[in-house]
Structure 1
Amino acid sequence: MAVAKSEPTRILILGGGYVGLYTALGLQKKLRANEASVTIVDPQPHMTYQPFLPEAAAGAIEPRHVVVPLRRVLKRCHVLTARVNKIEHDRKTVTVEAADGHIEQLNYDVLVVALGAVARLLPIPGLAEEGIGIKTIGEAIYLRNHVLTKLDEAASTLDPELRKRLLTFTVVGGGFAGIEALAELEDMTRFATRYYENIQPDDIRWVLVEAAGRILPEVRETLGVWTVEQLERRGIEVFLSTAAKSFENGHIVLSDGTEFDSDTIIWTAGVKANPVLANSDLPIDKRGRVEATAALQVVGHPDVWTAGDNAAVPDLSRTESDPTATCPPNAQHAVRQARHLSKNIIKVLRGGQPTDYFHKNLGAVAGLGLHKGVADALKLKIKGFPAWIFHRAYHLKAMPTFNRKARILLDWTLGGLFRREVVSLGQINNPKEEFARASKS
């Protein structure tokens, strides 16, 4: 009598960012035929390599080259373009809203929670209406076109107060995302002024607002101080220990009493775990992250795995000095956790035991515009051009797929030979405007 063949284990991955993509890549590489089916769910059909967003916004990299198409690289996985609404682990179901708007439930045997983080917005008047984020490729493209459009508008206006407002650009948040976006875009606008007869570099005002007393908390304080000095030498105004009180109608009010108008407000003041986690029956900590073991399993649920920004993973490299230490939410840990996570899932599927994740932070590196950077890595302080080279080399190595590595390297090579493009494609933001205008004529 023939024995019925068991069904493949259903592995469901929520999120297509660092953790989701790298976990799926590891699984499709190591799984045997019919051992398991892998489904990955994300609202976007691509993974975005966020450290390259500032360069994409500034025109140093083609925006399409900083995203990895999920269906192209995950050929042995099922890719579902949908948004996760609810996780019910007791029933082993996840409720999602598909791209066409319909709601469906997905069943699973093994769940991977890799929903990442979203922008942390504060209850500041005007923030929701005036703020621009830079966590997605869409925001990066929009920001580039927006900033260059403001230069065009300023070059054509006859109103000196409006011109001043148009040429004032504000960044809120002094972490890596804020500093890199500020530095790259300031570089871009200064370069662009050579093509405007009536705009000089000194006419453009860039402002950084940071509530803490320092910037770049991921590097040692002396490097943070050095970075502030470099930004100020470029004419950038830096407000430390200063909170934003209001952004209503583009009128910025700071906690020290400073007030000014700005048509561009870039918000990079922190992130928070995906709020979907609060609508689940999984254990979460006070910061809204899923509680995880060092083996990357959710506490109390060995068939649920997690990693990355939405996970509170014990940092074993620091637990001797701080037993409650968790891994910081950065790409360095997310990529390594994902690779470890895929190996652990394979081990457990085949009857083995998972191993703990351990990685000592190698440091941090930030780009400060073209040919400028800062790094605190391998116990070394690196500044200027060497740090910029280190920054590009590290992130190029971390970028998934040879295809994307090659395209980015080519972008950098062409940019070095022919300089960056500073043309605005502002019509992308309202593509039907001309069609609508023609229909009325």
Structure 2
Amino acid sequence: MKRILIVGAGSAGFNAARELEKRLHPGEAEVTVVDPRPYMTYQPFLPEVAAGSIEARHAAVPLRRHLRRTTIVSGTVTAVDHAHRQVTVRPIAGEDYRLSYDIIAVTAGAVTRRFPVPGIADQAIGMKHVEEAVAIRDRLLTALDRAEELPAGPERDKLLTITFVGGGFAGVEGFGELLSLTAAIVKRYPRITADELQFHLVEASGRILPEVSIDSGRWVLRSLQRRGAVIHLNTQVRSAVDGHVELSDGAAFDSGLIVWTAGNAANPVVHRHTDLPTDERGRLIAAADLRILADGEPVPDAWAAGDDAAVPDLAADQPGPTTVPNAQHAFRQGKLLAHNLLADLRGRPTRSYLHHSLGSVATLGVGRGIYQRGPIVIKGLPAWLMHRGYHVLAVPSVERTVRVSAVWLAALIFGRDTVSLASVEHPRDAFVTGGEIGAPAAVTDHHPADAAHHRPSVVTK
């Protein structure tokens, strides 16, 4: 049988594997997926996970539950040697090893783009994985609990200051959702007033939400400002050492929570550790049918899709642009990849990827949103309902659709879940201290397996 290897189980990789399972004939090929996480993250749900509107586990689609005829390898692909049809795999535990294949589909996804800003690596949290979204929520709720017991002063001000860096979809949606969360629960903290909460959104360009029109972006900006946000446009973060944020516009303040959403960067394994051809941005050069190209000719048995693939955008008005890295394209490219891979395997013609955008929709907090498709703009509650309706149907599997819908219904009746579980980061503290007051917590006493589990990933979306 042909051995098909899928590198990465994000939206593109997961959907490619799922379609292959449906379409493969018995004995025709075997499929292997390599990813360090045992689930696919549905990233459009992460802002609502951070705000407690969605249960974290429901934004994660378990691979072994939904890919029952696929071999799941828990590890990270650190190098691709297509000339010899091999990849290097770094497992969750154990030594690196080589894995052979006949056909490769690289769907590794992008990673969070970082800049060498002092303090950012130590202080900031990204928002690309479920764990990060949960940590954002827990840190905010824990900060409110701590600030409630402190007198007015610098430490209290720092705990009540939240900073988002990056004004794209991820940043604006997360920012708007946390604004909504704090507005809903601050009444439960009688010694904290809404005016004490400081929200800063820092954007290097002159506008936020570049995916919508200038007028729509301005409307979102004004909406956030009316809710108490401070927006810094044409501004960069100069330093964030020890949580002290210094901006290029001269502003400086202490922030207890810094969320970094300043765009995507090429996946390191694609950019620097493969013999497959990449463009100037480190993405794999792909044809419209998702084959990887070298000097304009298809590379045999090599395919790519999703955020790490430079796929021509055939729906653009003029030739040249490539599809933007978003869930709409990754989801559909993954399905087409499976179709074309099988067509090539069976000697049939492949199809080109062509998708006309369904528009851009963003949540700005409960009951608030914006949708735009061409000249059509919908704002407020209707846009928010459209956002929820679209994504609850788009999340893979009926099982996840039902679970998310149930949580939303419960939140509509009882309000969102605002329990902070920050203590799960150090689950042994209560056991080690035995409840002894003043006993040192074993916050650095981690099991070796925990360290392996939290090894940074370079191949997931």
TM range (shorter): over 0.9
What code does the residue aligned with 1:211 have?
A
- Give, in angstroms, the shift of residue 424 of structure 1: 1.2
Q: Secondary structure at the match of 1:171?
A: strand
Q: Counterparts of 1:117 and 1:266 in 2: how far apart (Å)?
A: 18
Q: Counterparts of 1:130 and 1:75 in 2: how far apart (Å)?
A: 39
Aligned to 1:373: 369
Return 158-167 or 307-316, whichever deviates more.
Answer: 158-167
Please tell me whether the aligned partners of residues 362 and 378 of structure 1 are also in contact (alpha carbons under 8 angstroms): no
Q: TM-score, normalised by structure 1?
A: 0.96
Please tell me whether the aligned partners of residues 118 and 274 of structure 1 are also in contact (alpha carbons under 8 angstroms): yes
> After superposition, what is the alpha-carbon deviation per residue over 1:136-164, rounded to whole angstroms, capped at 9, x for unaligned?
01111111111100001111112522111
Aligned to 1:4: none
Aligned to 1:103: 96
- Give, in angstroms, the shift of residue 191 of structure 1: 1.4
The equivalent position to 2:305 in structure 1, one of 304, 307, 313, is: 307
Please tell me whether the aligned partners of residues 142 and 429 of structure 1 are also in contact (alpha carbons under 8 angstroms): no
Aligned to 1:341: 337
Q: Secondary structure at the match of 1:305?
A: strand
Please tell me whether the aligned partners of residues 175 and 269 of structure 1 are also in contact (alpha carbons under 8 angstroms): yes
Gap regions ≥5 residues in structure 1 = 1-7
Aligned to 2:85: 92
Cα RMSD of the aligned pairs, angstroms, is 1.2
Q: Counterparts of 2:392 and 2:265 in 1: how far apart (Å)?
A: 26
The equivalent position to 2:151 in structure 1, one of 153, 158, 161, is: 158
Q: Secondary structure at the match of 1:86?
A: strand
Aligned to 2:427: 431
Q: How many residues align?
A: 432
- Give, in angstroms, the shift of residue 378 of structure 1: 5.9
> After superposition, what is the alpha-carbon deviation per residue over 1:168-215, rounded to whole angstroms, capped at 9, x for unaligned?
000010000001111111111121211111012121111100000000
The equivalent position to 1:241 in structure 2, one of 224, 234, 237, is: 234
What code does the residue aligned with 1:317 have?
A
Q: TM-score, normalised by structure 2?
A: 0.92
- Give, in angstroms, the shift of residue 433 of structure 1: 1.9
Q: Counterparts of 2:394 and 2:174 in 1: how far apart (Å)?
A: 19
Is it true that 1:418 corresponds to 2:411 in the alignment?
Answer: no
Please tell me whether the aligned partners of residues 172 and 269 of structure 1 are also in contact (alpha carbons under 8 angstroms): yes
**Residues 36-51 of structure 1 aligned to structure 2 (within 5 Å):** 36-51=29-44
Aligned to 1:220: 213
The equivalent position to 1:279 in structure 2, one of 273, 284, 298, is: 273
Gap regions ≥5 residues in structure 2 = 440-461
Q: Secondary structure at the match of 2:111?
A: strand
Aligned to 2:20: 27
What code does the residue aligned with 1:408 have?
V
Aligned to 1:292: 286
- Give, in angstroms, the shift of residue 379 of structure 1: 4.2
Please tell me whether the aligned partners of residues 155 and 199 of structure 1 are also in contact (alpha carbons under 8 angstroms): yes
**Residues 136-215 of structure 1 aligned to structure 2 (within 5 Å):** 136-215=129-208
Structure 1 residues 439 and 261 mapped into 2: Cα distance closer, same or farther (>3 Å)? closer
Q: Secondary structure at the match of 1:391?
A: helix
The structure showing larger relative contact order (alpha-carbon pairs under 8 Å, at least 6 residues apart) is 2
What code does the residue aligned with 2:366 have?
L
Return 138-147 or 157-166, whichever deviates more.
Answer: 157-166
What code does the residue aligned with 1:113 have?
V
- Give, in angstroms, the shift of residue 389 of structure 1: 0.7
- Give, in angstroms, the shift of residue 439 of structure 1: 9.0
Q: Secondary structure at the match of 1:187?
A: helix
Q: Secondary structure at the match of 1:308?
A: coil
Q: Secondary structure at the match of 2:322?
A: coil
Please tell me whether the aligned partners of residues 209 and 243 of structure 1 are also in contact (alpha carbons under 8 angstroms): yes
Q: Secondary structure at the match of 1:213?
A: coil
Aligned to 1:5: none
What code does the residue aligned with 2:241 have?
E
Is it true that 1:16 corresponds to 2:16 in the alignment?
Answer: no
Please tell me whether the aligned partners of residues 114 and 307 of structure 1 are also in contact (alpha carbons under 8 angstroms): yes
Aligned to 2:390: 394
Q: Counterparts of 1:83 and 1:297 in 2: how far apart (Å)?
A: 23
Aligned to 2:128: 135
Which 4+ runs in 1 deviate beyond 6 A? none
- Give, in angstroms, the shift of residue 438 of structure 1: 2.4
Q: Counterparts of 1:339 and 1:260 in 2: how far apart (Å)?
A: 47
Return 348-357 or 41-50, whichever deviates more.
Answer: 348-357
What code does the residue aligned with 1:413 have?
L
> After superposition, what is the alpha-carbon deviation per residue over 1:256-306, rounded to whole angstroms, capped at 9, x for unaligned?
111111111110001112110121000000101000001100003131110
What code does the residue aligned with 2:409 have?
T
Aligned to 1:3: none
